[in-house]
Amino acid sequence: MCSGDRLVADFMAGTGTRPGLPAALDEHLTTTVDGLWVVWAHKVARPSGDLFIPLRGGPGYPADARAECRLWRDHDAPDPGCTCGFHAVSSRRLPALRVPSGFTPLTVVLSGRVLAFEWFGAGVLWRAERQTVVRIERSARPDRMERFLSTRRRPDDPDGRLAVVPAGTPRDSGPVRLNLPVSAPVLPVCHDDAGWCAGSRTFEHSPASLVLA
C-alpha cells in the first residue's frame, strides 16, 4: 500500500472554512455548491457493480463512505501513526504512474480529517476520513491511429499528432455541480491503496505513516 514521507498537513475539510494549508497544497482545494471546502484527488480501482475494489483486493468501497480504523479502536481514521483512512494522490500525471490492467482512474473528493504526506517527489499522498467518487474515467488504451500516423510523417510535420478539441466541463467538476451527500456509510478501512504504489516501489521513502502487516 502507499506510505508517505514527511507529514506536511493535518486538517479538517468538508466545512465552510477554508483549511489553512501550505501554499503548495492550495491548488488541490475546491468547493461544493454549498460552499464546503474539499480536497480534489486521484486514485485507481476496479469497478465491481456499485463498489470499487482497491489494488490490494478486499470487499471494496461504495462511491461515498466514511472510514473507521479496523485494527485499532483507540483512534479515529485517519491517524498519522496508522494506515487507516482512504488513500489518494494529488495528481495522476506524476512521473511513472501507470494504470494497472483491469483498473480505472477515479477522481475523488476528500473531506473530514485529511492528512497530507510528501510522496513521489513533488506529489502528495492524502489519507482521509471521507471519500466521495465524483468521476470514473476510462482506462487509457494505445492509440492505433497515432501509431499509424507516426509511420507516415512528413518533413513538415515532425510531430505527427492530431489536434484534439478539449471536452466540455466534466460532470461534477469543481464547485459548479459538486454536491456531497448529507451522510455516508461507515466502512472499516485500514489497507486502502491509491493504486499506483506498485509502480513506485523503486523509489526510496522514509515512511511517515506506519505500514502495518
Q: Cβ distance 41 to 89 under 8 Å? A: yes
**C-alpha–C-alpha distance, residues 179 and 67, integer Å:** 19
Does residue 14 have a pLDDT over 90? yes
pLDDT value for 142: 44
**80 vs 170: which has the higher pLDDT:** 80
pLDDT (tens digit per residue) in 113-172: 999 998 866 789 999 999 999 999 865 444 444 444 444 444 444 444 444 444 444 444
Q: Cβ distance 20 to 168 under 8 Å? A: no
**181 vs 116: which has the higher pLDDT:** 116
Does residue 195 have a pLDDT over 60? yes
**Which residue spans within the chain are E strands per DSSP?**
7-13, 29-31, 37-48, 51-53, 64-68, 86-89, 104-119, 123-136, 186-188
Nearest Cα residue to 192 out of 62, 79, 96, 55 = 55
Beta strand 64-68 with 186-188 is parallel
pLDDT value for 3: 67
Q: Cβ distance 191 to 1 under 8 Å? A: yes
Nearest Cα residue to 118 out of 27, 26, 207 = 207
How far is Cα of residue 210 from the mean position of the Cα atoms in its chain?
Answer: 20
Does residue 92 have a pLDDT over 50? yes
